[in-house]
Amino acid sequence: MLLFRPASLADSDAIVALVTSAYRGDESRGGWTTEADLIDGPRITPEVLADDLAEPSGRLLVGFEGDEMLACCNLVDKGDGVAYFGMFAVMPGRQGAGLGKQVLEEAARISRDEWGSTTLEMTVLEPRDELIAFYERRGFVRTGEYREFPYGDERFGTPKRDDLHMVVLAKPL
């Protein structure tokens, strides 16, 4: 069972390492959430993370077993009953063990019970059909909306393709 707490700047190096390990580079191939065939470089930088931590309407959560950080996510209260769920990562060697479900449940609880949100929204890279299916099995649905990948912003990596975009998914709370 994960224990959750809000992240702080002191957690930055560990969060960057966790998120990178889940999505980019060879280590990410140890799990099933890898984007290594789609994007090179960082998934998150310390600068972007610092901005996320400073967001007054946000909360970056970290999940621990003992002293080991195994999972994280970023939540933002967008207002109008919508909370955004992003930067979701579980250590590759622990993926598939139910930790992601715990993170999703905690994110939904905070969004619903503390912020009064009625919808949890997220974005997923379009080519990631297996990841989209994972979220659909957990109650998320495609909204029909898309967002552009931030091409040219190296803080989010270097795409290996020129056709990436984000599918918007939403889940009623």
Which pLDDT score, from 0 to 100, does residue 32 have?
80
**Half-sphere exposure of residue 97, counting CA atoms within 13 Å on the CB side?**
13
pLDDT of residue 8: 96
Predicted pLDDT of residue 42? 86
158: amino acid identity, one letter: T
Residues whose CB is less than 8 angstroms from the CB of residue 108 and which lie 6 or more positions away in sequence, other chains included: 120, 171, 173
Supply the pLDDT for residue 109.
98
CATH number at residue 56: 3.40.630.30
The H-assigned helical ranges of the chain are 12-23, 46-54, 99-109, 129-137
Answer yes or no: are the C-beta atoms of 87 and 101 closer than 8 Å.
no
Q: Which residues contact 76 (CB under 8 A, 6 or more apart)?
A: 55, 57, 58, 59, 83, 84, 86
Owning domain of residue 112:
3-172
Structurally, the chain folds into a number of domains equal to 1
Q: What pLDDT sits at residue 1?
A: 92
pLDDT at 153: 87
Q: Which token pair is 150?
A: 């931030």
Give the C-alpha separation, 131 to 122, whole Å.
Answer: 12
Q: Say if CB 93 and CB 31 are below 8 A apart.
A: yes
**At a CB cut-off of 8 Å and minimum separation 6, what does 130 contact?**
32
Tokens of 102: 């715990």
pLDDT of the chain, 173 residues: tens digit per residue: 999 999 999 999 999 999 999 998 888 888 888 888 999 988 899 999 999 999 999 999 999 999 999 999 999 999 999 999 999 999 999 998 999 999 999 999 999 999 999 999 999 999 899 899 999 999 999 999 999 999 998 888 899 999 999 999 999 99
